[in-house]
A and B are shown apart, each in its own frame.
Chain A
Amino acid sequence: MLRRRAHRYRDEVATRARQQAAVAELGQRALAGLELEELIEDAVQVVVRELGSDYVSVLELTGDGRGMHVRAGHGFPDGVLGGVLPATGEQLPGYALKSDGPVVIEDFASEARFGPSPLQHDLQIVSALAAPIGARGRRLGVLGVNSRTPHHYSRDDANFLQAIANVLGAASERARTDEVVRDSEARFRELADTTPALMWMTDSEGHVTFVNEGWLRFTGRTLEQELGATWAVGAHPDDLHDLLVHWRGASARRTEFRVEYRLLRHDGSERWVLAEGLPRYEDGEFVGYVGTATDIHERKLMEDALRESEASFRDLADTAPVMIWTTDERGLVTFVNEGWLRYTGTTLEEELGPSWSLGVHPEDAPGVISSWNEKLAARQPWELEYRLRSRSGDYRWIVDRGVPRYEAGRFSGYVGTAIDIHERKTVEARLREVYEREHTIAETLQRSLLPERLPRIDGLEIAARYLPAGRGAAVGGDWYDALERADGRIALVVGDVVGHGLRAAATMGQLRNAFRAYGLTEASPSQVMARVNRLVMSGEEEAMATVLYLVLDRETGEVTFASAGHPPPLVLTADGAHFLEGGRSVPVGAAEPGVFREATADLPPGASLLLYTDGLVERRDTPLEDRLDDLAEAAGQAEGGLEALCDSVLERVLGQRVPSDDVALLAVCPRAVASEAMRLSLPAEPESLSGLRRRLGRFLHAAGATEMEAYEITLTVCEAAGNAIEHAYGPGDASFEVEASFENGTLVAVVRDRGSWRERRGTHRGRGLQIIQGLMDDVEVSTESDGTVIRMRRRLAA
């Protein structure tokens, strides 16, 4: 009976492993960019292969949300594919669409929650299994399997189907997102490149990250030459110094600036331009400048000409393409040039005199008049952007500027120029719109990619927090994940994609999937990291991320981790908190081939692990080490369970501060080890030994054994276990058991296997026996009906 149960358990484990591998494989194909259509076909085949059902269907919610289109399937008669089923909740497909997870139907005859779909009814389906595709609130469809004969679908089968449905959901989401990303970026470029102004953008450090087509046409340089250093490189050598002083001063204060300088044109000539820069703030955080340069060469020439002679000025002014005006000392208009009249469609008579609000947009007029009067009274330069009615009747944005002029040392009025900045103003507004739109999409995407809830894992407590940066800030690419590997160990990931916005969020989704896929198949963290790195480096788009990938053996407390440029994990024990050092390498996406290191540490009994992204410890005003110290201190003071720990850490580290970057936090704690007795059943393979050592070590340590005793007992038990492993001669013997307990201060250890005791297999087995007998007080080997038992005793000193 026992043996049969063991067999069944083994079968289940094997099935589960195979199913997980199938999911991982499909995930990898999705990741490799397989067309959605092909991926769906693959998914159907995988489900047919693993669940062996009569019919498999992929139903897709129709655009109006009222029907479900049979998009793909297996086993159906002709004419079913392409058809549409109702999406009502009274039938299985509609019900599954709204459910949180997979729906299992033992028998439709006894199913009270809903009925079969018309298709299922026609095909006389008895048992079925259906899993919703797509995130909750944004369902895309349903993946279903159907059987004409009664069939029991297990919990594992249901989880498997849901996992396949999740891969399809993620792939469909990605297919949609890719379109949105392309769309949004194309819009931005188009917008920037069609504006007549010259444009540039910098990051917060002042490095140029973007210049538009107009700028490149003007300077005649390539994009590569323009990016990086500074936008001021093209300035006339005589102006460069003043320009840099001005720009650095403004950017240090992060204020708007406006400066005139000579920019060298592609043909070698110098043109006066007006450079304007606006700091881009995103919810209090400075993220760089967006700047424009407008050719004001003509205006400059006018001003120079005016300085020379009033008469030649008027001649020149009338032929100039800019709008020019003059006033007398009372501020009354005495002259406007042809350019002005052409622009406004007014006559000279209308414009002369106190005409300040003539043609000005009603909303802007009060501001124009009050600012003009103020400057006039003080005889200071005046400058304002406002809307002026043009000849066509439309209001257009202009920037109008007047400077006081003096004749023979006596104030004689103002001379002013105005230029049309309508295009630039409009582009600015639309750019802001694009930023906001991109932010919303990125945020949605990011939400959809984070696990809705963390998996429930036996023997492990787990809690997580995700704190988005302040509203309006660009979304970061942070994520966390936890999954249970086939070997029973837990893989934990926390990562942060370099950059913000849509692209970062999309990259995050891909990385998360990659870590899921490789995390299931690769045992070593450094290998997982190397494979993800290869994937990232082979991609077309540049992406970089800092990642902490950690594998935890919850039985033994052994953690193996690799940090790709990520801050170190924090261990919390009753004595306080400390960081796990080592295993550090460069970020993923930085170099290929990347060399990734890993490190191993033991988690003491009762200890918790805290993984986080650097938004938690990021502050410009304090060195990183101090911030890590603050985190350790805050975490060390926290009390209560993991949920309380997360809350407490966030509260103590961030306080009232809204983080300037996203913060992801993941806390786990393996359940405490019993100290009176332990019992383990392990696969009969050499790889089980390291886990056995850790587990025994923890047990003996908890029981008060000295380091020497713990080492000797562990070694002895492992030698006996090594014997059991070498005895295993078939799949039926694929496990061994270890028990350890105390009887009046004496340790009793029992190693039980299903093979027969063979002495001296090779010299080192002989030495193994020598060790067992030499280090234990008493050793007893007995052969029982189904195997061999080694019973060992050792009295502890304490």
Chain B
Amino acid sequence: MASNTKPATRKAAIVGGNRIPFARSNSKYAQASNQDMLTATLDGLIARFGLQGKALGEVVAGAVLKHSRDFNLTRESVLGSKLSATTPAYDVQQACGTGLEAALLVANKIALGQIESGIAGGVDTTSDAPLAVNDDLRRVLISLNNAKTVQDRLKALGGFRPGMLAPEIPRNAEPRTGLAMGDHAAITAKQWQIGREEQDELTVRSHHNLAAAYDRGFFDDLVTPFLGLARDQNLRPDSSVEKLAKLAPVFGKGDGATMTAGNSTPLSDGASAVLLASDEWAADQGLPVLAHLVDGQTAAVDYVHGGEGLLMAPVYAMPVMLARNGLTLQDFDFYEIHEAFASTVLATLKAWEDPAFCKEKLGLDAPLGSIDRAKLNVNGSSLAAGHPFAATGGRIVASLAKMLHEAGPGKRGLISICAAGGQGVVAILES
């Protein structure tokens, strides 16, 4: 059960962030491992805030696609970075919610006074993906390894078939439905009657907003170049509805299909990190406080049997968090709704506007209502930047914190991120 009241604690400060530009899959970062990217991202953050040799409370990060060698990914990255080797670290994984969940975990420990500072991050590569030997071959190899006599060994080897050489490739599909995430999203898009044009319009806005943000130097203290990339590789500053209209649908079937490679996020590689701290620690280090992480909420939906859309969990998390904080959906100056697919953002907004859905599914007397679209993803989001799964949360937290800081004190920002497995994470930031 979600808590309905907030205990008296301090709020964790967001000091700043760093990420590497996001690359398209199998391109600029094809040779970079998760550890390479996370370490470089940490080092960029360390350089920005002068953290060389410092021991922080902890570093929490994760990756969705991990090699077995990455079992202690975050700690190994810390050891490879310029931080003090006495900084503890642990990995988390909550699909696309990883980055934001990591920030909540660090913020909560700061709020409780257990640590004074910490870094939350995430990294993913779809290029340097873990290929595994398939289960049949794996069993043969394990039997071979366990065999004690020559006879046993030969017997074990006798079980080998050439077909076993085909590797296990990680798939961007839900294990319980066999459907790709995009196909799930297409079902939701159809259910909520999300049109092609509004998806393309949202996509174009994302590209234009991100390009403008780069041009005015917004990312100068949020991004550090990596392997020859200084801006997100997926960014198309000259994107237009006309150009996007030419793309054929790739998810969903038949005439009603609306989701294309343009209005869906591409597979991408990248990493992000956010520096969180207590106000006292930040002041002590002469570091700024951009915003505070006020609250967060996670929810999950039964997309397998329950009839809810795979990516709709944030819709459920939101009213719980708003009620706990005595806020309405309209009480925010910026909205950051992760653009897994343009249709996901639009379906989410539509659900909050729908009286019947809000009453029946969310148990609300009145719908959460609509938001001012001019406040949505004002510096671009995943459709333009790309979406290395676990890195998206850190990208959003750091960018939103900076936006709130620029807007002045007392401003509020809302984050909503959907994740595989029917999960979702939402959070409130305040300057």
Q: Do A and B bind each other?
A: no
By a beta-carbon cutoff of 8 Å, the part of chain A in contact with chain B is: none
